[in-house]
Chain A
Amino acid sequence: MTGPLLEVEGLRVGFSTDRGVVQAVDDVGFELDEGELVCIVGESGCGKSVTALTIMGLTRSPTTRIGGSVRYEGSELLDAPESQLRALRGPGIAIVFQEPVTSLNPVQRVGPQIAEQIRAHTTLDKAETRQRVIESMRRLGIPQPEQRWYAYPHELSGGMCQRVMIAMAMSCSPRLLIADECTTALDVTIQAQILLQLRSLCDDHGIGVLLITHDLGVVAEVADRVVVLYNGRVVEQGTVRSIFEDPQHPYTWGLLGSMPRLDRPRREQLLTIPGAPPEPGTAGGGCSFLVRCPHAFDRCLEEPPLAPVPGASDRESARCWLTPDQRRHLRMAGGDIGLAPAGDVG
């Protein structure tokens, strides 16, 4: 295959409400290759989940206005007929949601729930289907899958339910897996297990994974490339290395500085971003980060374009008027950003 597995370009999603159109996603674009793990990171209301749902074709409704382009293996999905999307969901693209316990049907045993998708997309007979479900559960580290087939969701822990969800998503061998905050509700030790499994899906099975998260710690652990969203827009994107070692956007600096870290002194003042993340669709003119940005100046009243970072690879870009020199200077001056010195990657 030549092109990327998934290409999202100029994606815009607006919801018509009584108060007018709420623009939840406003010009989001990125690419994802086979065997690559791309993280979309941002705070609540930044449009990360809407982006994920729109790729799956799950936001379509008479009150939604969708623009731009989403291409999977080169073919456009946004205006594809529902039947084509249905054929694609499962064997092509699969999604795992945040709340495993509420996403599963509480009155159906988990085995048959996983099998449903295989029945819909393949011609396997009953025994083969069952075999495949059990295989899929085993691969996700669910102990005693033969017995778990008969379990109801309430009999399983949150971590196990999430594994069932992933097993379900993986049961038709998709080429692209979208995971929407899939470890947020889990304990850290379980999160670590699941992240490792997601990573191995990319490395060992060549699956493309789009991981939606608010946790930069998770991003640092598993991502190949990162897309930072703020108020429905991409403010910065690049390789995981560039995001953590040479972040370009003041919002990314703020996010990095806000996190208490095990490798920094205790009780040190955390760098904060003043104010709170904006409600979706409340963007005024100019840069959407303007009101919270400590480095804003006159020009920021005008919306900055998502521009390539000079001297970096073609996939690194940032939406900020500050020049690269100014950015470097500001970051050096603000040692409180808490950035690790470059070049200490193991």
Chain B
Amino acid sequence: MTPAAPPPLLSVEHVGVEFPVRSSVVGRSSGTVRAVDDVSFTVADGETVGIVGESGCGKTTLSRCIVRLLKPQRGVITFHGRDITKLSDRALRPIRRQMQMVFQNPYASLNPHRRVGVIIAGALPKRIGSGREADDRVAGLLEKVGLKPEMADRFPAEFSGGQRQRIGIARALAAEPKLIVLDEPVSALDVSVQAQVVNLLGELQEELGLAYVFVAHDLSVVRHVSDRIAVMYLGRFVEMAPADLLYADPRHWYTRGLLDAVPTPTLKARRSSSRGILKGEAGTVLDAPSGCAFRNRCPGATEICTTTVPPLVEEPDGRAVACHHPLGASAS
């Protein structure tokens, strides 16, 4: 044991998830598809790691893996130094208190037949029970997320999307977690409400020292909240870097293409044909090309990219890129 570096809060090593592929609804499995392939990263206490990618890249599958709503076929997930990859549901229960999840759709993730107070109280630690103390806790949590304590008696249907997402956050906080996995927590919300929730998440993190894994497709939101960001493409991390570095100086062609495609509300970036726009579409992991999955859209692809999957190589400045011909490499 080296006393110097404490183990990270969460460590994901070479995780892979496969799903069976059926040719028809009743058909037999005709093979497997790798939704997540060889993904590794760590999250430190109080840190926010963002994961971005387009639809079908595996980001939701990965986030479900982290809280073990899914069991990965390969790799190891360690939380607080304990291997949780193969734990049973029963053994997971106390650990799940410390790692909570906030879901994308605030309309589907709250039980419509339960009062909000009951929904939140259900996630409180057992020692608190269900009496006066629990009520106080629920009231406190509602206030913490910017709602009124009296709202505990209402049903989810009485709330707007933004308020529901706050309830989802209150429920996650009720368990007193160390880590919250947020899967597209603001993408269903209106812009003005989205900003409120983003600010709230920032305040809560500062106050409670939470760590976040923030999964989203919106690069501007992810950059805003994250310390480090991983870019995912068809099941793999193609680049991982400190947030500012990733945006200022992307190394992977896909990262640069994504950044170029983000519409920003300034006139500086008026769309012009000279700006790089990625051609083609990501497709799915089912029809990914051999070698580097991005090669058929990549302007810099060569022979080697068709045969060899580029490994994610760590660089001294804390970033990692999986590309045979990374951007800016010729300069160094």
Contacts and interface: CB of A to CB of B under 8 A. Distances in A.
A139 to B, nearest CB: 16
Interface residues of B, number: 49
Given A216-B191, A222-B271, A277-B192, A263 B219 contact: no
A39 to B, nearest CB: 12
A271 interface: yes
A195 B261 CA distance: 10
A231 B271 CA distance: 30
B162 A276 contact: yes
B192 A220 contact: no
Nearest to B48: A267
B263 interface: yes
A272 B192 contact: yes
Contacts of A272: 192, 195-196, 199
Give the one of B162, B243, B262 with max A CB within 10 A: B262
B225 A217 contact: no
A187 B263 contact: no
B223 to A, nearest CB: 6
A329 interface: no
Interface in B137-154: none
Interface string B169-194: 00000000000000000000011111
Contact of A220 (B225, B270, B278): B270
Interface in B200-226: 202, 217, 219-221, 223-226
A276 B198 CA distance: 15
A189 interface: yes
Interface in B221-240: 221, 223-226
A265 B262 CA distance: 17
Contacts of B257: 189
B163 interface: yes
Interface in A180-198: 187-193, 195-196
A258 B194 contact: yes
Given A189-B278, A271-B195, A272-B195, A259 B190 contact: no
Contact of B264 (A160, A220, A276, A277): A220
Contacts of B283: 157
A75 to B, nearest CB: 33
A318 interface: no
Interface string A260-280: 111100111111111011000
A218 B261 CA distance: 10
B224 A214 contact: no
B195 A258 contact: yes
Contacts of A233: none
B168 to A, nearest CB: 16
A128 interface: no
Given A220-B264, A262-B259, A346-B268, A44 B277 contact: no
A191 B191 contact: no
A240 B267 contact: yes
Given A189-B54, A192-B277, A345 B202 contact: no
A344 B267 CA distance: 8
Closest 10 CB pairs of A and B: A217-B263, A260-B224, A258-B195, A187-B54, A192-B261, A273-B192, A270-B195, A43-B190, A216-B265, A188-B261
Interface of A: 43-44, 157-160, 187-193, 195-196, 199, 214-222, 240-241, 244-245, 254-263, 266-274, 276-277, 340, 344-346
15 contacts: A193-B279, A215-B263, A216-B191, A240-B267, A244-B266, A245-B267, A257-B195, A259-B191, A260-B195, A260-B198, A260-B224, A262-B220, A262-B247, A270-B224, A273-B195
Given A187-B281, A271-B195, 14 more contacts: A157-B283, A159-B281, A188-B54, A189-B54, A189-B261, A215-B191, A216-B265, A258-B194, A262-B219, A266-B244, A270-B224, A276-B163, A340-B268, A345-B267
